Amino acid sequence: MQPLSDRQQALLAALPRQQRIARVTGILCSLVGVLYIVWAVLRFDPLGDPTEAIGFDAVVTAPVATLYLKYRDYVETREWEGSQARALAGSLRRGMNFSAGLLLLAFRVILGLIVTLLGFATMTVVIERGRLLRILAAQGLVPGDDAPAAAALSTRSE
């Protein structure tokens, strides 16, 4: 095996620190994604007005509110003649609230799933990179927590 260059040794020496950062990042992304999904599900009100359900995630909710407001204003500003027409308009308003709220929930759940899966992917990289680092530490190429144990194993096998 060829000896490692100075640049390669520096990259290998920086990996344990990068592992800790990636591990924390992966855990945080997964946790934030799951918490966001739970928050979105708990916030969903089937009959509530989705424009009133705007939370800290206004970037996600603003497109739904924009689509919804145009049609809600049309239904609410129109004069409905007769009790049947008013009852149908009320049913239409509830249906619009439900479908806009469901669309908002879907946006939030999809966003939460993306963040959660990003965290899971990061954790997968951390786990696999850790396995490679243990192999390199056993070969004595990178200092690690397993270096004394790896050195003991290599002297026993000789």
Say how far apart CA 107 and CA 64 lie, in whole Å: 9
User: What pLDDT sits at residue 10?
Assistant: 82
Question: Which of these, 126, 152, 146, lies nearest to 134 by C-alpha position?
Answer: 146
User: What pLDDT sits at residue 143?
Assistant: 65
Joined tokens for residue 44: 């969903």
User: What pLDDT sits at residue 46?
Assistant: 82
Mean pLDDT by 10 residues, the chain (158 residues): 78 83 94 95 83 77 77 74 83 83 90 96 93 84 54 40
Say how far apart CA 137 and CA 139 lie, in whole Å: 5
User: What pLDDT sits at residue 156?
Assistant: 38
Asked whether the whole model's pTM tops 0.75, one would answer no
User: What pLDDT sits at residue 92?
Assistant: 80
User: What pLDDT sits at residue 4?
Assistant: 74
Q: How far apart are the first and last CA of the chain?
A: 18
DSSP of 70-110, one letter per residue?
HHHHHHHHSPPPSHHHHHHHHHHHHHHHHHHHHHHHHHHHH
User: What pLDDT sits at residue 152?
Assistant: 39
User: What pLDDT sits at residue 56?
Assistant: 84
User: What pLDDT sits at residue 150?
Assistant: 39
Joined tokens for residue 113: 């799933």
